[in-house]
């Protein structure tokens, strides 16, 4: 569609959007409400710069927050600009910084092939640091330490700077771990996510000749989701834009939901302070949601104290009321949602693809998954236990990392004994100790073991069994490194799996073995994209992709008709005709952990706002009366945010929960029908099995979908085929009969 004229593009925009697109010289701050055509403005602006102003696309940089946003922008720009779109520097902060560091990182001590450590690796490094320094990881939880280090890095404080600014004992500890942590990363030639930013910042600040190259090159800089940038990111952007001062940032303070990842809302507030000449454009017209949904969302967000008020309006119709529904527990909540989805499909012409079920925490997805499986409803789970972090996937990736660079000690240590081959903790410690004494790496120590066995000479002190095993794995890695130079990534991967007998290893676990192997095969599917690359290059590119790509980005790969299960955080930037916000309870949304901090509470409110504004036509907000935290389930009250939605736009369906249990009387009352507990204390009533077909003399045939023991009875949940729908019944009272399956 490169054919559409620039005039056509402009005429399709409203005046504010046009103003944002056509502002050329100098800083620009775009405050963009939800559904206000933000992506459109960014992409048209880039197209306008290239096609009308004549800016070389090589001289434009656009930073996004997620790969998904980058990809979407790339696709739209392909259509607007054709092949020239490929010349734009467009990507996430992290991936663009990685690219800069691959190119110029030697100045800050990075080889070209540094590894990027993920969260799990980071924890491993912190634990190792604590261990090295004889500190108790019970007293200093690695997670907490890591988050302190991460916060420092987001503020571009390196270990030395941090150490010189400590003022509590705890920070002193963090400072010591931070130093050690850095030295482990350095010797492994690895960086963490925060380093990608911090080291880029150091590079730009410390090496003017490098910085000038980037500053001179980029005439225009765009930053998307500016409200979610941290100090390091903003500093990098400002620095790159320093020479030409054409920095355009787009954001919405009301949608800032990443402060826990050190995003600093103040960036968006200080932008105008840092750039007094900045032009401000507010995009207030919402093209996404009905009037009702927008009004609900506006009322929720209005209660926040710290915010820049902006006018929001829509020309869309009034639409349906917001449905606030109540269920008994998470299982019933899921049943209600699926029932309602079914109804919408039948009566309102929505498809599964139109529906998203949103929740605050990943663990909430389980009830929905199970219920979907039970009823055969296709679903797409975004995130969850993230794919690349599943143990089996991570193991294979770690092997590949070692093949790429065996001096990566954290990775090497992770896989020497996977699958278990007789190199335990003790052997690994001895090996590491021996290596450190001689100033060698773990990999060199392992090679010495091999050498010691074949030609004698000095070798680490290992018992014969571990020594043999070590020689084995060392030989294996050596072979694979050598192969890695000659064969493509997929062949390499296949050989690796074959030689470590990984399939047998996984499948020996009867529980989820098959599933795990499927995951490995899915990873192989990703590797297939790199099959045609040059041997070493393909491996490298594959690892880079895996390190920087999150699961949300894989979402649209599944094309089949399915409803979406997604966290509120991941849903940002997306939209769906029908949205179910679930777990609308105190303790869940707002989350328990934000209860005692007003700032965090405001963030919970913004999260609610983000969720509500994802909906185009129908919005449901559902809660459960009881919710369990692992073991026991507890009563839970309605989320305070529900109270901020005006009554006149709410619909509360009656009979969400059609409980048919007869009025229950305590069994010790005279006249009450009692069920005598059996000798072992278990109820004497026979339980029904899930999936069993039953018949009720009033409701007809149905399927048991749940059966839980109560004090002296069983509570059976049955999905009836008839209009009765889903009922909860007491096994001892209900006229329920099993139906024999032929």
Partner DNA sequence: CTTTCGGGATTTTTT
Partner DNA sequence: ATCCCGAAAG
Active site residues: 38-39, 224-225, 255, 614
| SS3 assignment for 702-714 | EEEEEEEECCCCE
Strand 355-359's sheet: what is its strand order? 379-381, 563-567, 355-359, 576-581, 615-624, 322-327, 650-651
In 287-424, where does DSSP find H-type helix? 291-301, 330-347, 365-375, 391-404, 409-415
* CA atoms of 671 and 277, how far apart (whole Å): 83
Stretch that binds DNA, among 91-99, 273-281, 610-618, 655-663 (CB under 7 A): 91-99
Q: What is d(CA 377, CA 379) in angstroms, rounded to the nearest whole number?
A: 6
CB of 122 or CB of 282, closer to DNA: 122
Q: Decide if residue 424 touches DNA (CB under 7 A).
A: yes
Shortest separation between residue 462's beta carbon and DNA, angstroms: 8
Select 568 or 730, whichever has its Cβ closest to DNA.
568
Interface with DNA, residue 460, by CB under 7 A? no
| Binding region for DNA (CB under 7 A) out of 257-265, 346-354, 491-499, 519-527 | 257-265
Residues 607, 568 contacting (CB under 8 angstroms): yes
Which of 17/256 has CB closer to DNA?
A: 256
Q: If we measure between CA atoms, which residue out of 72, 77, 73 comes closest to residue 51? A: 77
- Binding DNA (rule: CB under 7 A), the pick from 629, 664, 676, 689 is 629
- The residue among 154 and 290 lying less far from DNA, judged by its C-beta, is 154
Under rule CB under 7 A, residue 433 binds DNA: no
Size of the site for DNA (CB under 7 A): 49
Pick between residue 307 and residue 591 the one whose CB is nearest to DNA. Answer: 591
Of 538-597, binders to DNA (CB under 7 A) are 548, 550-552, 567, 569-570, 591, 593-594
**For residues 125 and 541, what is the distance between their CA atoms, to the nearest angstrom?**
24
260 binds DNA, rule: CB under 7 A: yes
User: Using CB under 7 A, which of the segments 62-70, 178-186, 309-317, 652-660 binds DNA?
Assistant: 62-70
Instruction: Candidates 276, 456, 631, 671: give the one binding DNA (CB under 7 A).
Output: 631
Contacts of 587 (CB under 8 A, 6+ apart): 595, 627, 636
If we measure between CA atoms, which residue out of 545, 568, 550 comes closest to residue 387?
Answer: 550
We find the least distance from the C-beta atom of residue 705 to DNA, in angstroms, to be 17
Give min distance, CB of 545 to DNA, in A: 12
Interaction between residue 427 and DNA (CB under 7 A): yes
Q: How far is the CB of 416 from DNA (least distance, A)?
A: 10
- Selected from 66, 246, 289, 519, the binder of DNA by CB under 7 A is 66
Containing 452, the helix (H) or strand (E) segment is helix 442-455
In residues, how long is the chain?
A: 742
| Contact call for residues 38 and 283 (beta carbons, < 8 A) | yes
Among 102, 421, 503, 693, binds DNA (CB under 7 A): 421
CB of 374 to DNA, least distance (A): 16
Q: How far is the CB of 387 from DNA (least distance, A)?
A: 10
Are 486 and 472 in contact by the 8 Å Cβ rule? The answer is no
Write the DSSP assignment of 98-145 as a string of letters: HHHHHHHGGGGT--TT-EEE-HHHHHHHHHHHHHHTT--TTTS-HHHH
Instruction: Please report the DSSP string for 608-677 in residue order.
Output: HHHHHTTEEEEEEEEEESEEESSSSEEE-PBPGGGGGS-GGGEE--TTSS-B-PPPP--TTSTT----PP
Give the span between the Cα atoms of 619 and 628, in whole angstroms: 25
- Report, in Å, the least distance between residue 128 CB and DNA: 11
Q: Which of 280, 463, 643, 659 touches DNA (CB under 7 A)? A: 463
3-state secondary structure 465-500: HHHHHHHHHHHHHHHHHHHHCCCCHHHHHHHHHHHC
Helix/strand/coil for 176: helix
Q: Considering only residues 112, 143, 698, 738, which one is a binding residue for DNA as defined by CB under 7 A?
A: 143
Q: Copy the structure tokens of residue 539.
A: 């491996």
Could you tell me the smallest distance in angstroms from the CB atom of residue 365 to DNA?
9
Residue from 23, 45, 59, 94 touching DNA (CB under 7 A): that is 94
Residue 417 lies near DNA (rule: CB under 7 A): yes
Question: Alpha carbon of 165 to those of 157, 168, 174: distances in Å?
Answer: 10, 10, 12
Q: Report, in Å, the least distance between residue 553 CB and DNA.
A: 7
Rank residues 424 and 725 by Cβ distance to DNA and give the closer one: 424
* Nearer Cβ to DNA (43/92): 92
Per-residue interface string for the shown chain with DNA, residues 354-393, x marking contact by CB under 7 A: ------xxxx-------------------x-x--------
Q: Give dist(CA 357, CA 362) in Å, integer.
A: 12
Pick between residue 320 and residue 430 the one whose CB is nearest to DNA.
430
Nearer to DNA, 16 or 233 (CB): 233
Q: Which residues bind DNA (CB under 7 A)?
A: 65-67, 92-95, 118-119, 127, 137, 143, 193, 257, 260-261, 360-363, 383, 385, 417, 420-428, 430, 463, 466, 548, 550-552, 567, 569-570, 591, 593-594, 600, 629-631
């Amino acid at each position: 569609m490169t054919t559409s004229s620039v005039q056509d593009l402009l005429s399709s925009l409203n005046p504010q959007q046009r103003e944002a697109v056509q502002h050329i010289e100098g800083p620009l701050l775009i405050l963009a409400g939800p559904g206000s055509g933000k992506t459109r403005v960014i992409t048209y602006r880039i197209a306008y710069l290239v096609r009308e102003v004549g800016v070389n696309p090589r001289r434009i940089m656009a930073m996004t927050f997620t790969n998904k946003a980058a990809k979407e922008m790339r696709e739209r720009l392909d259509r607007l600009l054709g092949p020239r779109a490929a010349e734009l520097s467009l990507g996430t902060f992290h991936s663009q910084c990685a690219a800069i560091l691959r190119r110029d990182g030697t100045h800050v001590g990075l080889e070209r092939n540094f590894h990027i450590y993920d969260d799990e690796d980071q924890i491993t490094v912190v634990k190792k640091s604590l261990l090295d320094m004889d500190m108790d990881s019970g007293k200093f939880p690695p997670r907490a330490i890591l988050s302190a280090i991460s916060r420092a890095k987001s503020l571009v404080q390196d270990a030395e700077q941090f150490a010189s600014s400590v003022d509590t004992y705890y920070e002193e500890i963090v400072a010591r771990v931070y130093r050690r942590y850095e030295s482990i990363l350095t010797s492994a030639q690895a960086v963490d996510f925060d380093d990608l930013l911090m080291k880029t910042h150091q590079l730009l600040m410390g090496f003017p000749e490098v910085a000038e190259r980037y500053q001179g090159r980029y005439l225009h800089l765009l930053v998307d989701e500016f409200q979610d940038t941290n100090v390091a990111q903003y500093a990098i952007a400002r620095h790159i834009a320093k020479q030409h001062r054409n920095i355009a940032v787009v954001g919405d303070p009301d949608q800032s939901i990443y402060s826990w990842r050190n995003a600093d809302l103040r960036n968006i507030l200080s932008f105008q302070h840092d750039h007094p000449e900045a032009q401000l454009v507010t995009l207030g017209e919402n093209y996404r949601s009905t009037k009702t949904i927008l009004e609900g969302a506006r009322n929720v967000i209005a209660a926040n104290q710290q915010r820049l008020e902006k006018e929001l309006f829509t020309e869309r119709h009034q639409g349906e009321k917001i449905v606030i529904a109540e269920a008994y527990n998470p299982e019933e909540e899921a049943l209600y949602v699926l029932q309602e989805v079914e109804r919408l499909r039948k009566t309102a012409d929505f498809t599964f693809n139109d529906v998203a079920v949103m929740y605050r925490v990943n663990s909430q997805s389980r009830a929905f998954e199970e219920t979907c499986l039970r009823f055969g409803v296709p679903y797409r789970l975004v995130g969850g236990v993230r794919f690349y972090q599943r143990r089996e996937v991570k193991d294979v990736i770690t092997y590949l990392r070692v093949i790429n660079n065996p001096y990566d000690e954290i990775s090497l240590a992770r896989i020497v004994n996977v699958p278990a081959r007789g190199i335990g903790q003790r052997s690994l410690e001895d090996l590491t100790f021996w290596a450190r004494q001689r100033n060698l790496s773990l990999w060199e120590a392992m090679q010495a073991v091999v050498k010691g066995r074949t030609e004698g000479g000095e070798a680490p002190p290992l018992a014969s069994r571990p020594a043999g095993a070590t020689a084995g794995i060392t030989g294996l890695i050596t072979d694979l490194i050598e192969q890695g130079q000659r064969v493509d990534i997929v062949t390499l991967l296949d050989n690796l799996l074959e030689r470590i007998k990984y399939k047998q290893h996984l499948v020996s676990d009867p529980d989820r073995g098959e599933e795990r192997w499927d995951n490995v095969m899915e990873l192989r599917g990703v590797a297939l994209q790199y099959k045609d690359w040059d041997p070493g290059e393909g491996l490298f590119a594959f690892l880079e992709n895996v390190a920087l790509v999150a699961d949300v980005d894989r979402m649209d790969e599944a094309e089949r008709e399915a409803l979406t299960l997604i966290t509120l955080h991941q849903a940002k930037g997306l939209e769906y005709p029908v949205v179910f916000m679930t777990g609308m309870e105190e303790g869940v949304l707002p989350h328990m952990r934000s209860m005692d901090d007003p700032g965090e509470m405001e963030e919970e409110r913004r999260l609610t706002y983000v969720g509500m504004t994802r909906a185009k036509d129908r919005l449901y907000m559902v809660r459960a009366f009881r919710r369990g935290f692992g073991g026991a389930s507890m009563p839970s009250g309605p989320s305070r945010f529900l109270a901020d939605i005006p009554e006149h736009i709410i619909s509360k369906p009656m009979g969400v929960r059609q409980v048919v249990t007869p009025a229950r009387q305590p069994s010790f009352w005279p006249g009450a029908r009692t069920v005598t507990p059996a000798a072992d204390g278990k109820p004497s009533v026979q339980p029904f099995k899930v999936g069993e077909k039953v018949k009720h003399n009033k409701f007809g045939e149905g399927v048991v979908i749940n059966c839980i023991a109560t004090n002296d009875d069983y509570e059976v949940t049955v999905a009836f085929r008839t209009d009765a729908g889903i009922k909860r019944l007491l096994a001892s009272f209900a006229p329920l009969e099993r139906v024999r399956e032929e």
